[in-house]
């Protein structure tokens, strides 16, 4: 071959190599832009969940930890999860999944998802427990709405409210509550399962007696603990320090943090077996932009927990807090009841019954959609986990040396 041909071939190879490098640089910049947008979107979504610092007068501001607020929180998670999956998989080299540190961080995230599935089951059962509390409150409302208020109505309301308040402080670990041996807990999903055979959150028989339905342990073993589950989820949840050639450690850490935060918030508000207060929650680094709104929400919820001192009791769901407060006041009225009721006292009781009735309506309207969202969250996590596992399995097969 003539020398000029050697020279031309060499220049062509340099040109091809230069184009490949440029293409890699462009892809890297696009990925960095995706990561920045993802973090910004997460921050913006959680900022919308923060209570206004100076709410306008005569405006209906949404209460943190109310049912409507939780529905927004779950919507935020589902949006973040969809964007995370796009950042993680779309346009990425699948071989990155087998490289450090992603080869460790991604399985850890999937393991947290498994634990989150169990918490979803516990929360679904907790919502059913709140439904039973709602029925007791409705009995009291119906009795005290009768006019004139007579002793029989007051006694009926008092029985319902005393049962309600006792149910809110029941010791979840007391084996006598269930009246029998607790069923062994069913794990939500196998460690390496691809999503097949996964049981959705259990339905609860509405005809159960209240004494049985009070138990939060009917679908879980006595050793299961919501607080231990959260602690296990936050184990090894540490912000990446750089040195990641894949550029994916930050979004995996971000999504794991969002997952733990959402599960922690649900457990704090909805009655769940064996939980502790926010003192045991995970710590988020303050130097990251997307963590600031979550830290503010953590602090707000922590203040509410300390204020209510709800360690192991009914939880911080806003509507339940109102029911508990009004129920205690109406029980005091019932204990000192004298017929006929004075005008001033009758007006006070009427206002409290109206407040209790309004909260009952909010619970009746909101608990069903909230429970459906928790189930949607459950199934979304199952599907996403299966999709990521499929990619990891494909990468594992490619990297496996095939003997000839």
Instruction: Give pLDDT tens digits for 3-51.
Output: 555 445 544 544 444 444 334 444 667 778 888 999 999 999 999 999 9
DSSP single-letter state for residue 182: P
- Among residues 253, 174, 258, the alpha carbon closest in space to that of 216 is found at 174
190 C-beta neighbours (distance < 10 Å), count: 12
| Residue 49, pLDDT score | 96
| Residue 385, pLDDT score | 94
| Residue 129, pLDDT score | 94
| Residue 185, pLDDT score | 31
| Residue 277, pLDDT score | 64
Euclidean distance between CA atoms 104 and 262, whole angstroms: 23
Collect the ranges in the chain with pLDDT lower than 50: 6-7, 10-11, 13-26, 171-218, 402-404
> Concatenated DSSP letters for 94-130?
GGGGGSTTHHHHHHHHHHHHHHHHHHHHHHHHHHHHH
- Among residues 17, 194, 236, the alpha carbon closest in space to that of 106 is found at 236
| Residue 105, pLDDT score | 92
Euclidean distance between CA atoms 389 and 386, whole angstroms: 5
| Residue 186, pLDDT score | 29
- Going from N- to C-terminal start, the domains of the chain cover 24-49+63-398
- Among residues 379, 290, 388, 386, the alpha carbon closest in space to that of 85 is found at 388
């Amino acid at each position: 071959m003539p020398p000029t041909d050697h020279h031309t071939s060499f220049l062509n190879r340099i040109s091809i190599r230069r184009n490949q490098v440029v293409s890699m640089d462009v892809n890297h910049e696009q990925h960095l832009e995706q990561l920045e947008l993802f973090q910004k979107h997460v921050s913006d979504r959680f900022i919308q969940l923060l209570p206004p610092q100076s709410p306008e007068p005569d405006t209906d501001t949404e209460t943190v930890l109310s049912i409507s607020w939780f529905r927004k929180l779950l919507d935020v998670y589902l949006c973040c999860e969809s964007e995370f999956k796009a950042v993680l998989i779309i346009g990425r080299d699948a071989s990155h999944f087998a490289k450090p540190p992603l080869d460790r961080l991604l399985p850890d995230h999937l393991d947290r998802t498994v634990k989150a599935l169990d918490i979803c089951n516990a929360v679904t059962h907790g919502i059913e427990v709140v439904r039973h509390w709602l029925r007791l409150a409705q009995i009291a409302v119906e009795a005290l709405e009768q006019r004139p208020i007579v002793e029989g109505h007051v006694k009926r309301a008092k029985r319902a409210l005393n049962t309600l308040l006792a149910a809110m402080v029941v010791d979840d670990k007391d084996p006598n509550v269930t009246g029998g041996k607790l069923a062994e807990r069913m794990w939500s999903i196998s460690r390496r399962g691809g999503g097949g055979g996964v049981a959705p959150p259990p339905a609860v028989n509405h005809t159960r007696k209240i004494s049985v339905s009070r138990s939060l342990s009917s679908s879980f073993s006595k050793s299961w603990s919501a607080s231990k589950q959260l602690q296990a989820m936050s184990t090894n949840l540490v912000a990446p320090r750089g040195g990641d050639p894949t550029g994916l450690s930050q979004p995996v850490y971000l999504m794991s943090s969002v997952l733990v935060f959402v599960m922690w918030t649900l457990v704090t508000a909805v009655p769940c077996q064996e939980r502790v207060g926010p003192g045991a929650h995970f710590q988020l680094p303050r130097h990251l932009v997307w963590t600031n709104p979550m830290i503010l929400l953590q602090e707000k919820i922590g203040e509410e927990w300390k204020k209510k001192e709800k360690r192991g009791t009914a939880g911080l769901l806003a509507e339940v807090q109102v029911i508990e407060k009004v129920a205690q006041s109406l029980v005091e009225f019932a204990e000192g009841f004298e017929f006929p009721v004075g005008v001033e006292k009758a007006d006070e009781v009427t206002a409290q019954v109206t407040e209790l009735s309004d909260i009952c309506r909010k619970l009746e309207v909101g608990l069903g959609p909230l429970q459906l969202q928790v189930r949607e969250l459950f199934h979304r996590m199952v599907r996403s986990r299966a999709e990521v596992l499929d990619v990891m399995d494909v990468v594992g097969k490619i990297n496996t040396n095939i003997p000839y």
